[in-house]
């Protein structure tokens, strides 16, 4: 009889207790009416939308999201979600559909508490892609514990949630606001005014998983609960099989390169970005096999494997200083979106 190893993919979230003017454009700190006799007037900056309109976007999101989730309606969900958020939601649908009907938990409707939502609405020039960020709570009366970005899709005349991150704590970043209460969007990539941009942060996050932060993770990030949790995932997961198998992490193909940044009161920025990483479990030698967990049924169909590669899509948030100093990873959220591996070509055995 073959000795069986149990596949234990780590689905982690930085909610340990319970936004670049666009991805490619930068904000402008120059007042819209700043002019001089020798220079042309700066492009006029106007708010992405009003406070009331932003709250209506969030309310509509909760309503449509509930309706889509109840039926696992991907097309309907696609009208209010985009980017990594949509990909992670669809993976949850897929995982649920892989379970026997009796094992599927009844869906419980929810909504974001609009009264406690904190809005960060930037100003943009004509032609720039518009977006805004919001700190949100899913429980009435509770402080916000998530930060989300809603981006406009002009072609479809709608706003969609592009990314959402679970935060380490309810203490929010100190976003810089102008005299009218509007935030300032800054470039998330290639920004020389920041200690690190989205590309550097993404590489460091992946290194936390891949090496425990040895190469760049602990150099780019100061210790935080979120960063420490990623390192803990590396340390515990790579040892879980002992001498019977191995686990390795690596960066994956990232389809979601959009990143968003807001200027903070200290001159730095809050950055929200996405990354993709893989986790590969493999048996140490012939005669061993990995028996997929029931939550893997949608992808692995209960067939024993000699190795399994899981793909995770994640959303991350970090505060970055303007000076050369470590950044702080303040939250992240991951979902398994795929799993594959070669079958052993034999009947399933009992789990170890």
The per-residue pLDDT for range 231-256, each reduced to its tens digit, is 999 999 999 999 999 999 999 999 99
Quick check: 218 pLDDT over 90? yes
Q: How far apart are CA 182 and CA 177, in angstroms?
A: 5
Longest CA pairwise span in the chain (Å):
86
- In sign, the C-alpha dihedral spanning 326, 332, 337, 339 is positive
Nearest CA to 114 among 131, 136, 132, 81? 136
Q: What is the pLDDT of residue 37?
A: 55
Percent share of the chain, pLDDT over 90 = 81
Quick check: 332 pLDDT over 80? yes
Quick check: 36 pLDDT over 60? no
Q: What is the pLDDT of residue 317?
A: 98
Interacting residues of 305 by C-beta distance below 8 A, sequence separation 6+: 7, 289, 290, 292, 341, 342, 343, 344
Quick check: 4 pLDDT over 70? no
The chain-wide mean pLDDT, for the chain, equals 89
The arithmetic mean of pLDDT across residues 246-275, rounded, is 97
Range from 29-38, 115-124, 254-263, 311-320 carrying the lowest mean pLDDT: 29-38
Quick check: 267 pLDDT over 70? yes
Nearest CA to 123 among 207, 183, 174, 51? 183
Quick check: 32 pLDDT over 50? no
The arithmetic mean of pLDDT across residues 154-165, rounded, is 94
Q: What is the pLDDT of residue 38?
A: 63
β-strands 46-47, 123-124: how paired?
A: antiparallel
Q: What is the pLDDT of residue 43?
A: 79
Quick check: 26 pLDDT over 70? no
The angle subtended at Cα 194 by Cα 189 and Cα 198, nearest 5°, is: 30
Evaluate whether 335 touches 91 at the Cβ level (below 8 Å).
yes
Label residue 21 by pLDDT band (50, 70, 90): very low
One DSSP character per residue, 84-118 reads HHHHHHHHHHHHHHTS-GGGSPPP------GGG-E
Q: What is the pLDDT of residue 165?
A: 97
Q: Which long-range CB contacts under 8 A does 170-173 form with residues at least 24 apart? A: 170/142, 170/143, 170/144, 170/145, 172/118, 172/135, 172/144, 172/147, 173/264, 173/270, 173/319, 173/330
Q: What is the pLDDT of residue 9?
A: 43
Interacting residues of 329 by C-beta distance below 8 A, sequence separation 6+: 14, 201, 205, 221, 224, 226, 227, 230, 316, 317, 318
For the entire predicted model, the pTM comes to 0.85
Evaluate whether 193 touches 322 at the Cβ level (below 8 Å).
yes
Evaluate whether 284 touches 246 at the Cβ level (below 8 Å).
yes
Which uninterrupted H or E stretch holds 233? helix 225-237
Quick check: 292 pLDDT over 70? yes
The arithmetic mean of pLDDT across residues 31-50, rounded, is 70
Label residue 42 by pLDDT band (50, 70, 90): confident
Provide the 3-class DSSP secondary structure of residue 205. helix
Quick check: 81 pLDDT over 50? yes
The angle subtended at Cα 51 by Cα 50 and Cα 55, nearest 5°, is: 115
């Amino acid at each position: 009889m073959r000795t069986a190893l149990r596949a234990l993919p780590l689905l982690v979230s930085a909610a340990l207790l319970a936004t670049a003017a666009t991805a490619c454009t930068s904000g402008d700190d120059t007042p819209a009416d700043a002019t001089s006799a020798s220079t042309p007037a700066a492009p006029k900056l106007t708010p992405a939308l009003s406070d009331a309109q932003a709250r209506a976007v969030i309310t509509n999101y909760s309503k449509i999201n509930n309706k889509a989730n109840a039926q696992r309606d991907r097309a309907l969900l696609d009208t209010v979600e985009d980017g990594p958020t949509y990909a992670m939601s669809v993976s949850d649908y897929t995982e649920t559909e892989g379970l026997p009907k009796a094992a599927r938990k009844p869906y419980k409707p929810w909504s974001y508490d609009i009264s406690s939502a904190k809005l960060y609405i930037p100003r943009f020039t004509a032609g720039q892609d518009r977006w805004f960020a919001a700190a949100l709570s899913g429980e009435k009366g509770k402080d916000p514990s998530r930060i989300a970005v809603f981006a406009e899709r002009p072609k479809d005349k709608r706003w969609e949630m592009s990314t959402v991150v679970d935060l380490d704590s309810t203490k929010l970043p100190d976003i810089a606001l102008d005299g009218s209460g509007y935030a300032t969007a800054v470039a998330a990539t290639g920004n020389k005014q920041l200690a690190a941009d989205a590309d550097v942060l993404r590489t460091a996050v992946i290194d936390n998983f891949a090496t425990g932060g040895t190469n760049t993770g602990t150099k780019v990030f100061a210790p935080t609960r979120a960063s420490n949790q990623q390192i803990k995932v590396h340390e515990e997961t790579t040892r879980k099989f002992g001498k019977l198998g191995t686990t390795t992490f690596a960066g994956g193909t990232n389809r979601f390169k959009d990143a968003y940044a807001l200027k903070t009161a200290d001159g730095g920025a809050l950055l929200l970005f996405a990354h993709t990483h893989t986790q590969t479990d493999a048996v140490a030698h012939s005669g061993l096999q990995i028996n997929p967990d029931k939550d893997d049924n949608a992808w692995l169909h209960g067939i024993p494997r000699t190795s399994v590669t899981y793909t995770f899509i994640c959303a991350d948030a970090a505060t970055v200083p303007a000076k050369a100093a470590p950044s702080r990873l303040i939250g992240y959220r991951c979902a398994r979106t795929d799993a594959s591996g070669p079958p052993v070509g034999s009947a399933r055995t009992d789990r170890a």
